[in-house]
Amino acid sequence: MINFGRKYRIYPNKEQQEKIWININGARYVYNALLEDAKEQYESTGKSKIKHPSFVKNKEGNEFLSKCDFICLHYAERNLETAYKNFFRGIRKHQKVGFPKFKSYYTARWSYKTGKAKFVDGKLKLPKISPIKTIVHQSLPSNCRTGQENTMYLYL
């Protein structure tokens, strides 16, 4: 299977930018909260299991996650599970694979992954966000990531 990289420049308005940032920060927050919980479990019982994102979403004080796309929260959980598997596989094979790290607001990749992006009438439709103005030059792959390369432009 070959992976292709395509960039589509998107032009969101202020409300859409705010919702994209909620998704980006929500995915980072869920990843960090699940990692913290798994570390605490391991320290207390000697075993750790990564919980479902609804565990974090239903905690008191996390009401902002209800505005977040739930699919991107699941992808954060899957990314953490992959990091854990790679860590323990590396230990068994005597390779040096680091323990999963917390994602910092300042150094983390500002992106989130969703599986429900599609083009409708020349505009990009993301879950829980109104259609975003986009310049389309090729068809959209089924699984894509929304991110920001620098502080000025947003890309799909």
Q: Is residue 124 part of a domain?
A: yes
* 32-73 confidence digits (pLDDT tens): 998 988 888 888 887 777 888 878 888 888 888 888 888 888
pLDDT beyond 90 at 15: yes
Q: What does pTM read for this prediction?
A: 0.79
Structural domain tally of the chain? 1
DSSP 8-state assignment for residue 20:
H
Q: Is residue 4 part of a domain?
A: no
If phi > 0 it is left, if psi is from -120 to 50 it is alpha, else beta; for residue 135 that is beta
Q: Is residue 35 part of a domain?
A: yes
Q: Is residue 125 part of a domain?
A: yes
Q: What φ, ψ does residue 112 adopt, rounded to 5°?
A: -145, 155
Q: Is residue 21 part of a domain?
A: yes
**Which residues form the domain of 118?**
9-155
